[in-house]
């Protein structure tokens, strides 16, 4: 920026901004943010905690809330935590809420709570403000902090350098697998489900004894995830093995329920961990509005102090088990928990399976126990050193007293004791600090009696520190003790997937009601109530489209559709929802998964396929054929039949002929020439794709453009005119249409 000289008009000149390459922007601005989110916020570490959890729990530990018998206000804890975690009070409080006993998120809650803390299974049940609630640490948290005051983990400065905080907590059990955790970072996420504490302890002990333990053997100890909300886990061994080996996969959870026969209602008492009661009720409400839940008369949330309960009142005679299978299929009462075990190992995110996580935890825990034992060893050696010095003065207590009494200057007491008993400065300081009343033989004998036990303990600890197998044995004993003290029965019931019944929609009884159906030329299908069809004659269709087929049927009927690509598709009337006349309806090419550009040309109600009934096909080249309907019966649930008729020439018409009841057909060529025949004149073929025989003689260069089924009762005038083109044999020569009335009728088709 430059300025002009004095007396000149001041003008500010700005230098042009330097253009920053996108790579430099990403490297200097974006990447530090990415790393901060991954390392300091969203992904848990090997102790099973995110930084926010760790800072909160350590603050409560330093506040004495582990050993205290009294709780303190949550607001007090939140305020103290801000010394380590510079975030808003609500963010810290929400972190605490998830760890509380009352919230029911964890199998083993870390915070003993009093007050309203919401529920994991409800998004609407809110927690009270922190000024109303009270907390302290659960006794179980002692296992998180074991050895933290004995240099078990590194301590670092907090954000402003005024306090120390642990890098990790020295958890004495694999909390990373016992505490569920989820987080979304940048470019990665973590979703860790909880496992049963007893099973995890057993599996870890087995790995301590044999680090090469196979996945199959480990799965014998750790059966499957165990969720605080209980529910039923559909066990699939291959999927579970994938989770154990790769840390990725999903587990299917299903709600648990009981049928109250006296009140004819279903009480849902446990739901999947990954859903909420509000999500379930919204889906049930939606199904009621869409008339898909006729068997349920009412449903309500009956959650109280006794726990979770969602009650469904059902109609008399309804099978509750079958109804629940339907709800499992169509509502969040059955949902999946997607596992993605991303964990920070040595400040680097890694995706690990269950076995690898346990091996990494063992490596971490070995370091903690080694440091803790080294700390204890140093303290014992210090004590032994002092007692050995004390033992030397036992030989001449009077001499020690005399040295102290005769030393005229205070600073010379220590050197004189050192010289008098051949001890070092530390020992001399210890002896000098002993009260005069304790300088007697009994006191000194009582103290030095510990020397032998201390020497034995030191030797034992040195032996353990020198042998990793012995260190692992220490960890195994701790895990066994933790299991005996804190283990709980499994909450989530594990059931083999093959033993769980599944909902089969095809077996669902369909209410048999009369309906009206129609098909348009472009492929739109409508299903309407008979009343709606009678009340509204003006059906909505797209511009240029028109209705080509309309009929009454029952909701239990089956339909078949022939397409313009020589394919046949099968569907059920019940597959489609009742629509209004003002709606376009369902687009069949999409619903039936037709090829691009393919359209349905004919629709039939087809519940049976009698061998003596026929489909009649007429083609643009003037040929025709009859094929038994038995050739079109599809076994099983297959929806599509390829090669339904000949594709040698474009199809002009498809008709249905009942046994011994031939239909009458008017065939019209492009040059408006026609013949009128009975379908019985067409040859019957056993092959669906037969091209048939010539029915109408066409002039060179012309094609058959239209085939109409005529009925003397439905359209008497048109039928009478068509009688003039009657032919009794085929192939037949077409006669020219001269009647203007007949030509106009043909134009409308």
What span, in angstroms and rounded, lies between the C-alpha atoms of 716 and 735? 21
pLDDT value of residue 1 = 44
What span, in angstroms and rounded, lies between the C-alpha atoms of 33 and 10? 42
CATH 3.20.20.140 fits 43-171, yes or no: no
pLDDT digits (tens, 9 = 90+) for 683-709: 999 889 998 999 999 988 899 988 988
> Do residues 646 and 709 lie in contact, with contact meaning Cβ atoms separated by under 8 Å?
no
For residue 533, pLDDT beyond 70: no
pLDDT value of residue 392 = 84
Q: Which CATH fold topology does 608-749 show?
A: Neuraminidase (2.120.10)
Q: Which segment of 103-117, 242-256, 574-588 scores lowest on mean pLDDT?
A: 574-588
> Do residues 263 and 526 lie in contact, with contact meaning Cβ atoms separated by under 8 Å?
no
User: For this structure, is 132 an active site residue?
Assistant: yes
What is the number of H-type helices and E-type strands within the chain? 23, 36
Helices (H), 113-190: 142-145, 175-178
Q: Which CATH fold topology does 256-332 show?
A: Gyrase A; domain 2 (3.30.1360)
Selected catalytic residue, list 30, 33, 132, 159: 132
Report, as an integer, the average pLDDT of 185-200.
Answer: 92
Mode of pairing for the β-strands spanning 684-685 and 623-628:
parallel
For residue 2, pLDDT beyond 80: no
Q: What is the pTM of this model?
A: 0.73
Report, as an integer, the average pLDDT of 719-737.
Answer: 86
pLDDT value of residue 401 = 84
pLDDT digits (tens, 9 = 90+) for 394-424: 778 888 888 888 888 888 888 988 888 888 9
Q: Which of 185, 187, 177 is nearest to 41 (CA)?
A: 185
**C-alpha angle 178/184/185, rounded to 5°?**
115
> Do residues 514 and 554 lie in contact, with contact meaning Cβ atoms separated by under 8 Å?
yes
Domain ranges of the chain: 43-171, 256-332, 363-486, 510-594, 608-749
Mean pLDDT of the chain: 89
Per residue in 688-704, is it b (16+ CB within 10 Å) or e — as a string?
A: bebbbeebbebeeeebb
What span, in angstroms and rounded, lies between the C-alpha atoms of 119 and 102? 7
Q: Which of 293, 225, 264, 221 is nearest to 492 (CA)?
A: 225
> Do residues 86 and 105 lie in contact, with contact meaning Cβ atoms separated by under 8 Å?
no
Mode of pairing for the β-strands spanning 248-254 and 334-340:
antiparallel
DSSP state of 307: B
Q: Which CATH fold topology does 363-486 show?
A: Topoisomerase; domain 3 (1.10.268)
What span, in angstroms and rounded, lies between the C-alpha atoms of 107 and 230? 10
Q: Which of 730, 735, 740, 634 is nearest to 682 (CA)?
A: 730
178 - beta bridge partners? none
HEC profile of 564-580? CCCCEEEEEHHHCCCCC
For residue 19, pLDDT beyond 90: no
User: How big is the chain by its Cα radius of gyration, in Å?
Assistant: 43
What span, in angstroms and rounded, lies between the C-alpha atoms of 171 and 379? 22
The share of the chain scoring above pLDDT 70, in percent, equals: 95
Q: Work out whether the CA dihedral 280, 285, 289, 295 comes out positive or negative.
A: positive
Where does the pLDDT of residue 242 fall: very low under 50, low under 70, confident under 90, or very high at 90 and above?
Answer: very high
Report, as an integer, the average pLDDT of 477-495.
Answer: 96
Per the structure block, which two tokens stand in for 196? 């049963």
DSSP state of 27: I
What span, in angstroms and rounded, lies between the C-alpha atoms of 494 and 625? 59
For residue 9, pLDDT beyond 60: no
> Do residues 199 and 173 lie in contact, with contact meaning Cβ atoms separated by under 8 Å?
no
What span, in angstroms and rounded, lies between the C-alpha atoms of 174 and 365? 9
For residue 536, pLDDT beyond 60: no
pLDDT digits (tens, 9 = 90+) for 129-177: 999 999 999 999 999 999 999 999 999 999 999 999 999 999 999 999 9
DSSP code per residue over 179-244: S-EEEE-SS-EEEE--B-HHHHHHHHHHHHH-TT--HHHHHHHS-SB--TT--EEEE-HHHHHHHH
pLDDT value of residue 12 = 67
Q: Which of 58, 254, 245 is nearest to 137 (CA)?
A: 58
Who's near 164: CB < 8 A, 6+ residues apart?
Answer: 155, 156, 157, 158
End-to-end CA distance of the chain: 82
């Amino acid at each position: 920026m430059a300025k002009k000289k004095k007396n000149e008009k001041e003008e500010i000149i700005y230098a042009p901004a330097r253009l920053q390459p996108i790579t430099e922007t990403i490297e200097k601005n974006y990447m530090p943010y990415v790393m901060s989110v991954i390392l300091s916020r969203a992904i848990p570490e090997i102790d099973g905690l995110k930084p926010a959890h760790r800072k909160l729990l350590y603050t409560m530990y330093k506040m004495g809330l582990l050993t205290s018998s009294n709780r303190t206000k949550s607001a007090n804890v939140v305020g103290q935590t801000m010394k380590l975690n510079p975030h808003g009070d609500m963010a810290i409080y929400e972190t605490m809420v998830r760890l509380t006993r009352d919230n029911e998120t964890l199998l083993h809650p870390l915070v003993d709570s009093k007050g309203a803390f919401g529920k994991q299974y409800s998004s609407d049940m809110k927690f009270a403000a922190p000024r109303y609630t009270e907390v302290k640490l659960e006794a179980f948290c002692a296992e998180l902090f074991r050895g933290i005051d004995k240099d078990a983990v590194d301590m670092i400065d907090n954000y402003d350098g005024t306090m120390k905080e642990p890098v990790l907590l020295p958890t004495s059990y694999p909390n990373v697998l016992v505490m569920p955790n989820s987080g979304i970072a940048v470019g990665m996420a973590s979703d860790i489900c909880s496992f049963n504490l007893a099973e995890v302890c057993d599996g870890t002990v087995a790995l301590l004894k044999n680090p090469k333990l196979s996945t199959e053997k480990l799965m014998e100890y750790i059966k499957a995830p165990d969720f605080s909300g209980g529910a039923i886990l559909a066990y699939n061994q291959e999927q579970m093995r994938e989770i154990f080996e790769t840390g990725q996969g999903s587990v299917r959870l299903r709600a648990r329920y009981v049928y109250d026969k006296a009140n004819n209602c279903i009480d849902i008492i446990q739901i999947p961990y990954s859903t909420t009661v509000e999500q379930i009720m919204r889906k049930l409400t939606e199904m009621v509005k869409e008339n898909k839940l006729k068997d349920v008369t009412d449903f309500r949330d009956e959650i109280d102090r006794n726990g979770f309960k969602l009650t469904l009142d059902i109609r008399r005679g309804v099978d509750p088990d079958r109804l629940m299978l339907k709800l499992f299929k169509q509502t969040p009462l059955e949902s999946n928990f997607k596992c993605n075990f991303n964990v920070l190992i040595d400040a680097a995110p890694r995706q690990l399976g269950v076995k690898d996580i346990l091996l990494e935890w063992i490596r971490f825990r070995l370091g903690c126990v080694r440091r803790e034992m080294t700390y204890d060893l140093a303290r014992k050696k210090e004590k032994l050193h002092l007692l050995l010095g004390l033992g030397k003065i036992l030989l001449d207590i009077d001499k020690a007293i005399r040295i102290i009494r005769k030393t005229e200057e205070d600073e010379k007491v220590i050197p004189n004791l050192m010289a008098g008993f051949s001890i070092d400065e530390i020992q001399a300081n210890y002896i000098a600090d002993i009260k005069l009343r304790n300088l007697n033989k009994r006191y000194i004998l009582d103290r030095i009696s510990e020397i032998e036990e201390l020497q034995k303990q030191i030797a034992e600890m040195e032996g353990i520190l020198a042998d990793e197998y012995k260190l692992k044995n220490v960890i195994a004993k701790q895990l066994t003790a933790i299991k005996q003290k804190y283990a709980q029965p499994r909450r989530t019931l594990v059931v083999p997937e093959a033993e769980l019944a599944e909902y089969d929609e095809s077996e669902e009884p369909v209410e048999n009601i009369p309906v009206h159906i129609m098909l348009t030329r472009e492929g739109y299908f409508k299903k309407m109530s008979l009343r709606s069809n009678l009340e509204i004659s003006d059906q909505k269709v797209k511009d240029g489209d028109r209705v080509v087929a309309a009929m009454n049927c029952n909701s239990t009927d089956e339909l078949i559709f022939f397409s313009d690509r020589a394919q046949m598709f099968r569907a059920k009337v019940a597959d489609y929802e009742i629509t209004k006349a003002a709606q376009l309806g369902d687009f069949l090419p999409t619903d039936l998964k037709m090829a691009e550009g393919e359209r349905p040309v004919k629709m039939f109600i087809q519940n049976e396929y009698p061998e003596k009934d026929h489909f009649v096909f007429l083609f643009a080249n003037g040929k025709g054929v009859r094929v038994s309907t038995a050739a079109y019966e599809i076994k099983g649930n297959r929806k599509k039949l390829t090669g339904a008729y000949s594709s040698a020439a474009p199809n002009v018409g498809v008709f249905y002929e009942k046994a011994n009841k031939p239909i009458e057909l008017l065939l019209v060529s492009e040059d408006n020439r026609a013949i009128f025949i009975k379908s019985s004149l067409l040859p019957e073929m056993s092959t669906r794709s037969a091209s048939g025989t010539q029915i109408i003689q066409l002039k060179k260069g012309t094609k058959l453009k239209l085939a109409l089924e005529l009925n003397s009762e439905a359209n008497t005038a048109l039928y009478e005119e068509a009688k003039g083109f009657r032919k009794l044999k085929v192939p037949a020569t077409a006669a020219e249409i001269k009647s203007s009335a007949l030509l106009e009728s043909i134009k409308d088709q």
